[in-house]
Structure 1
Amino acid sequence: MSATVSFEVASAHGERNVTLSYTRQGSGEPLLLLHGIGHHRQVWDPVIPALAAERDVIAVDLPGCGESPALPEGMAHDLPTMNTVLAALFGALEIERPHVAGNSLGGLLALDLARAQLVRSVTALSPAGFWNEAERRYAFTVLMTMRQIAQRMPLPVVERLARPALGRTLLTSTIYARPGRRSPEAVVAETLALARAKGFSETLRSGRTVQFTDDIVGTPVTVAWGNRDRLLIPRQGVRAKSVIPRARLVRLPGCGHVPMNDDPALVARVVLDGSR
């Protein structure tokens, strides 16, 4: 069952109240899960049972995504702001330096938290920020196209398409290597999440100049990449390793951009190993 937490965050215009939706289960050291742009926390559902057996697992809807309201007026959807929001979330949930696993944008956010020495460990699954300009343009074009399709497609059409495996493939093959594994209900829910995500366009705009170029010292980092990632191509993992030489680079065979669906057991093992 989901819960909400509200807390104050400092901004250029003074204190602002931020509310985030999350689920929490399991016991052990805290592990925060961060999804990608336009997605929602349920994308982690396939791996949460295995993670919760060993960790206190917190899956959060980022601001403007899923059930979380958008950021208040005057707060930008950019990397520094999200770092501040997540650091404040740690305090609100009374978790000190959690482990963090993130996918895509969530992976970039996790690495940024590690750069600020706010976390115990990071597992970044196909993190954003290691692209060249051509790769960034391609990824952003694909994301904008997916968003436009999700917004223009009537709900009954989405529901009808999501019933057969072929329809789920048409809707989600950009991010999943094995889209038929997603349930029809999950595909409908994440299509709606993409269509309704607030701050999507602003997040993309702020990401145009983002490249992660700093080494991370003192925090264990695992970077994992699906060999069938069609959005952020796997060679970006090699770049990530060159930027963060101490990072452990793991290949995820048979996995796409969002690997938690494609091979839950493998991804759970990678996250648990990375957070020991």
Structure 2
Amino acid sequence: MQTTETVEETTVTFDRRGTGQPLVFLHGGMAPSEYWDPVVPHFDDYATIVPRRPGFGTCRDDPGETSADEVLDREVEYVHTLVDAVDGEPILFGHSYGALTAIEAATAAEVAAVVAYEPAILPEGFRAEANLADRMESLIARGERHEAVKRYVELVLHPDGIDDLDGWLDAWPPWPACVDLAEEVLRMNRAVEQYRLPDRLAVDAPVLVLTGTDGPEFLRESARDVHEALPHSRLVEFDGISHGGPSKAPAVVATEVEAFLQA
């Protein structure tokens, strides 16, 4: 069931299934909201809510007017509006950039818990050397939008290298439609490069931080850093699961999430 609600002049649109405590899924930057389709059936006891996130083929007002500095703030504000629109204190379950958004939103919203799968946060040493946003910007300025998004996919999703990137892209559902979001991906990536993890994250709710051994090492490192910065958190590392863990191994991930929520 798709629902559209307006809270303080901000319109939020989301797909709601079932009844119970609200469980809000926040997808990553390059994934459509359908990313959560394999996951949702594992949470029948909850009112599962998948919002149409602003900026990624969802509730875009005009992303061209949004700077990199504003991207994360805009999405956090959207989550706050969504929290106000649902009944009861929701659980936020974010993947990648959605996980960063969930954590930041939870610093100023009443939520019951947060689940964060490999938040899109760069370890300080890695962040200092990151220049993907600049490279993407140069490619887009030359009209090479496909190449700009390919560089993002290559360096973020396959930082250890990939033999046949074009073949992988041909089998990747968001490709090539995601090229239309090249500027938004650029702004999102620059926001990630600019984000500095504080020594202490002011999140009162319990947080489950998840990562996988087959994902990028820098995201595994950042997951550990996020865990250390949270006052109430649990860190779980899945063996043999990659950055796409929630959609690739939904039963395994859901079992761990359910155990955390019921503890």
Q: Which category of TM-score, normalised to the shorter sequence, fits these structures?
A: 0.7 to 0.9
TM-score w.r.t. length of structure 1: 0.73
Does the C-alpha gap of structure 1 residues 272 and 246 become closer, same or farther in structure 2, counting only changes over 3 Å? same
Question: Partner residue of 1:195?
Answer: 179
Question: Partner residue of 2:71?
Answer: 78
CA contact (8 A) 1:104 1:125 kept: yes
Question: Partner residue of 1:179?
Answer: none
CA contact (8 A) 1:223 1:248 kept: yes
The gaps in structure 1 that reach 5 residues or longer are 10-14, 154-169, 176-183
Corresponding residue to 2:59 among 34, 56, 68: 68
**d(CA) in 2 for partners of 1:60, 1:139:** 30
TM-score w.r.t. length of structure 2: 0.76
Superposed, 1:231-250 pairs within 5 Å as: 232-250=218-236
SS in 1 for 2:93: strand
Question: What are the Cα deviations for residues 140-189 of structure 1, in whole angstroms up to 9, with x where unaligned?
Answer: 46x959x98x9538xxxxxxxxxxxxxxxx9x9639xxxxxxxx9x9554
Does the C-alpha gap of structure 1 residues 217 and 83 become closer, same or farther in structure 2, counting only changes over 3 Å? closer
Question: What are the Cα deviations for residues 105-153 of structure 1, in whole angstroms up to 9, with x where unaligned?
Answer: 1101111122114311000000022522425755946x959x98x9538
Is residue 250 of structure 2 the alignment partner of residue 273 of structure 1? no
**d(CA) in 1 for partners of 2:20, 2:128:** 37
Is residue 193 of structure 2 the alignment partner of residue 208 of structure 1? yes
Question: Partner residue of 1:56?
Answer: 47
Does the C-alpha gap of structure 1 residues 80 and 140 become closer, same or farther in structure 2, counting only changes over 3 Å? same
Corresponding residue to 1:106 among 74, 98, 103: 98
How many pairs does the alignment contain?
Answer: 245
**d(CA) in 2 for partners of 1:135, 1:109:** 18
Does the C-alpha gap of structure 1 residues 59 and 139 become closer, same or farther in structure 2, counting only changes over 3 Å? farther
Does the C-alpha gap of structure 1 residues 130 and 188 become closer, same or farther in structure 2, counting only changes over 3 Å? closer
Corresponding residue to 1:120 among 91, 112, 133: 112
Is residue 126 of structure 2 the alignment partner of residue 134 of structure 1? yes
Is residue 146 of structure 2 the alignment partner of residue 152 of structure 1? yes
Question: What are the Cα deviations for residues 177-220 of structure 1, in whole angstroms up to 9, with x where unaligned?
Answer: xxxxxxx9x95542245322362222222333212323345311
CA contact (8 A) 1:222 1:274 kept: yes
CA contact (8 A) 1:105 1:128 kept: yes
CA contact (8 A) 1:130 1:237 kept: no
Residue type of the alignment partner of 1:271: V
Does the C-alpha gap of structure 1 residues 218 and 173 become closer, same or farther in structure 2, counting only changes over 3 Å? closer
Question: Partner residue of 2:6?
Answer: 7
Question: What are the Cα deviations for residues 14-63 of structure 1, in whole angstroms up to 9, with x where unaligned?
Answer: x6x5454x321122210000011122111111111012x12110112311
**d(CA) in 2 for partners of 1:173, 1:200:** 13
Q: Give the root-mean-square deviation of aligned CA atoms.
A: 3.8
